[in-house]
Amino acid sequence: MAEDLAARIRELWHQLQEDAVTSDEGHGVRIRFHELSVAVPSGLLCLGRRESGAAILLIPVSSSTRIRTDALETDALGVRIEKFQIEPKGVTHPYLAVTLRDITLWDVFVAMVIDFVRRVENGAGVVPALRAALDEFRRLVMSHGSGGVDLERIIGLLGELAIARRLIEAGADILTCWQGPEGDVHDFRVGLDSIEVKTCMVSAGRRMMIHSIDQLADPSGGILLLVLNVVHEVDREGESLGAILGEVRAHANDKSAFDERIQKLGFDMRDSAPEWSRRFVFEEQLWFRVGPDFPRLTRSELKTGDLPGEIHNVQYSLSVGTHTPGKMTEDAVDDWLMEVFHSDT
């Protein structure tokens, strides 16, 4: 049941990035939501997305139910509890809304939803089940952050190692190509071309952060490829960060130099470090050739050709999809790899 429900939640979240039913919460705020097809005593659970992009679990309750939402919320949880009216099928109904404020905790949030459903199915009331599920959520949040390395850096390394593995399969020398940890503006250099790698959780909806005005600038004399990995964290399936690291490291001619690059990214190379056991599934890997029509901000697109003296850095959020200009097919990626690594053979 848990795996099926988790898959259903991920499926609905994908749909909510595109189009969904829209309803007014009664506070001048709009949400989009879909039914989860999971019944509790007063109706069906719904998964929603607020205008801010936050995920929201909607739990139907009886109109006579009295709930002290302040008694359920804990400041450190990263969730907000509210009660309001929505109209899932044209009929106003009260709901208890659990909003995830920190989207990096998406996988922990999904585990909390599954735990809540299990407790209700075992006979617990909605409020006691939610209170117990939030207690478990608190425990998972504490363990989630106990490793010392934040999720953004973990999945960032995961994505770079995945691309490193693909380049190795094509014939690359990984220490020559992987220049991001050495301070290069792009993650990989392949001849005159460059690759910039981004990785996001499924919950981010193909959205990535561009951390500087130069990050999507063309390399001198070559082209820039942008890769977006979309992943989600799991307990037993997929691949562990440590396994992918070991696979790539095995191909490094100088193991000490490779280890130094990992350490420069803020990771502890000891096998006991908790981040290495975390497991992920790759949902998508999208490649783009960054050209004139690709949505980006670079110095050349500014009127003066550079940032004003008072502005020292620019960061922005970029969303991409299958119709974004420059989207490459798998065949096109393979052709590029063949050209850059085997053009002389």
Residues 229 and 298 in one domain: yes
Looking at the predicted structure, is the pLDDT value of residue 84 above 80? no
Domain boundary residue among 144, 176, 204? 144
Residue 235 structural domain: 151-342
pLDDT for position 67: 60
pLDDT for position 88: 59
Please provide the average confidence, as pLDDT, over all residues in the chain: 82
Regarding predicted confidence, which is higher, 21 or 144?
A: 144
Regarding predicted confidence, which is higher, 224 or 236?
A: 224
Residues 139 and 208 in one domain: no
Residues 131 and 159 in one domain: no
The reported pTM is 0.63
Largest Cα–Cα distance of the chain, in whole Å?
A: 76
Q: What are the tokens at 253?
A: 């001619």
Residues 20 and 134 in one domain: yes
What does the alpha-carbon distance between residue 209 and residue 16 come to, in Å, rounded to a whole number?
21
How confident is residue 312, by pLDDT bands cut at 50, 70 and 90?
low
Looking at the predicted structure, is the pLDDT value of residue 293 above 90? yes
Q: What are the tokens at 275?
A: 């981040």
Q: Which residues contact 29 (CB under 8 A, 6 or more apart)?
A: 50, 51
- How confident is the model over 27-56, as a mean pLDDT? 77
The DSSP string of 51-80 is TTS-EEEEEE--TT----HHHH--GGGSEE
How confident is residue 21, by pLDDT bands cut at 50, 70 and 90?
very low
Structurally, the chain folds into a number of domains equal to 2
Domain boundary residue among 123, 144, 165? 144
Looking at the predicted structure, is the pLDDT value of residue 26 above 50? no
How confident is residue 144, by pLDDT bands cut at 50, 70 and 90?
low
Domain boundary residue among 118, 144, 170? 144
**pLDDT, tens digit, 9 for 90 and up, residues 236-289:** 788 999 999 999 999 999 999 999 999 888 887 776 677 888 899 999 999 999
